[in-house]
Amino acid sequence: MSSFVDSAQLHAKAGDGGAGCVSFRREAHVAKGGPDGGDGGKGGDVWIVADHNQSSLLGFRDHPFRRATDGQHGTSKRMHGSKGKDIVVIVPVGTMVNDRDGNLLVDLKGPGDRWLASEGGLGGQGNARFLSNNRRAPAFAEQGEVGQENWYNLELKLQADVALIGFPNVGKSTLIARVSAARPKIADYPFTTLVPNLGVVRVGTRAGRPADATEFVMADIPGLIEGAAEGRGLGHDFLRHVERARVLCVLLDLSEMAPLAPQEQLDILLRELGDYQADLLERPRVVVGSKGDVAAYEMDDVLTISSITGEGIDQLVAQLAGLVAQVRREENQLLEHEVVVHRPLPDEITVDKAGANEWVVAGRPAIRAVRFQDLTDDEALAEIVRRLRTLGVDRMLTRAGVRDGDIVNIGPLSFEWWRDDVSAGLDRGDHHRATRRERLARHGRLDLGEPDDDA
């Protein structure tokens, strides 16, 4: 089983917020102690963080689920619940996060880049938070918010310094095994390498100790074939790992067993790179003739190497190290970068028609406004009215075309919209002076228009 995985799925579940507490102070000689319910703790977040020490998405193949812990509930004596613990999901540098429809959300290009994958739910406020001059004994509290839950598709694009490119069986694996500690599978038949192999090449060591040594990462990209840019074989899976390489090392087979003449190999490889991504042809590159010990072809102005005898290896490594150092110097000027979120998740209120006489109000601000434990409490409903009016939900519903008698749903709250000459929408008017049993039997009625004088 391969230990390299470059695509996987992630299920990120943030922690739920703890519920607020309904409690009243009860002590000897204190007749009316007032509300003292504490707030619930916020649920933990799920963060995706890029790290150089991670080289594959293997850990997500059989275990894609990552969950943060929930916030604790509030208790009496104004004691707030503790916050849930965040969870950090480590991914390799170069990981792209897509939604389930394939839309790119964020590209974690640099070490330490982090992105909030799922936000923990807010903790509910305890009844002590709702004490006011007009509300001396609030008997309601907020429910904790449910943490976000999302599925993501993860895709890794390797960020190697040097990418080895060539036809199958051209000697890429043998070269990387010669110049680094990598030990890829090597055999004398095509497509021995089915996944990229990485090796660290050290240049400038003396007596086994670094002395102004240069290190760079070399990637053995599986062999390309004609038509790879159109997806033939595993072309796209292979080519995406070339996109971020600083330097390209193109290997040409000089042996008599080569499938094509070296110049034809070079023309096809460059054409496939250009068809896949045009700017790949502008990258610094070194063209190398491989298998020099059994060469049947000669090419002018092309370095000939043999990974078996070591011919030309030192010269090649030195040349690659120089190009890598040059590109790194140019990149240092742009080292500071921000994590670009390509498609921010919307956090706005929307009104959609769910049926002939039914509407759904969506969006975290609106749902947060109605997250009370007891939606039959008159004082809780009054607080909901105030919050929704502040958010402008009444105006949004009016503009959307809501009519008298239509049912409006906001999270767990369902109510009947109505309008008359006095006020409209969701106000605590005469409709809320009905008995609790009657109100529950009819979904509940609210009015978001201008408040009555006794509201």
Question: What's the confidence (pLDDT) of residue 226?
Answer: 58
Q: Does pLDDT of 230 surpass 90?
A: no
Q: Does pLDDT of 273 surpass 80?
A: yes
Weakest mean pLDDT among 180-184, 205-209, 278-282: 205-209
Q: Does pLDDT of 168 surpass 70?
A: yes
Q: Does pLDDT of 201 surpass 50?
A: yes
Domain(s) of CATH 3.30.300.350: residues in the chain: 350-448
Domain(s) of CATH 3.40.50.300: residues in the chain: 162-332
Fold of 162-332: Rossmann fold (3.40.50)
- Per-residue pLDDT band for 114 (boundaries 50, 70, 90) equals very high
Q: Does pLDDT of 445 surpass 50?
A: yes
Question: What's the confidence (pLDDT) of residue 355?
Answer: 87
Domain(s) of CATH 2.70.210.12: residues in the chain: 1-97+105-152
Q: Does pLDDT of 22 surpass 90?
A: yes
Query: Which residue did the predictor score with more confidence, 375 or 1?
Result: 375
Choose among 74, 75, 94, 95: nearest CA to 83. Answer: 74
Q: Does pLDDT of 248 surpass 80?
A: yes
Fold of 350-448: GMP Synthetase; Chain A, domain 3 (3.30.300)
Long-range contacts of 275-283 (CB under 8 A, 24+ apart): 275/229, 275/230, 276/228, 276/229, 276/235, 276/236, 276/239, 276/242, 277/239, 277/243, 280/242, 280/243, 280/248, 283/245, 283/246, 283/247, 283/248
1-97+105-152 belongs to which CATH class?
A: mainly beta
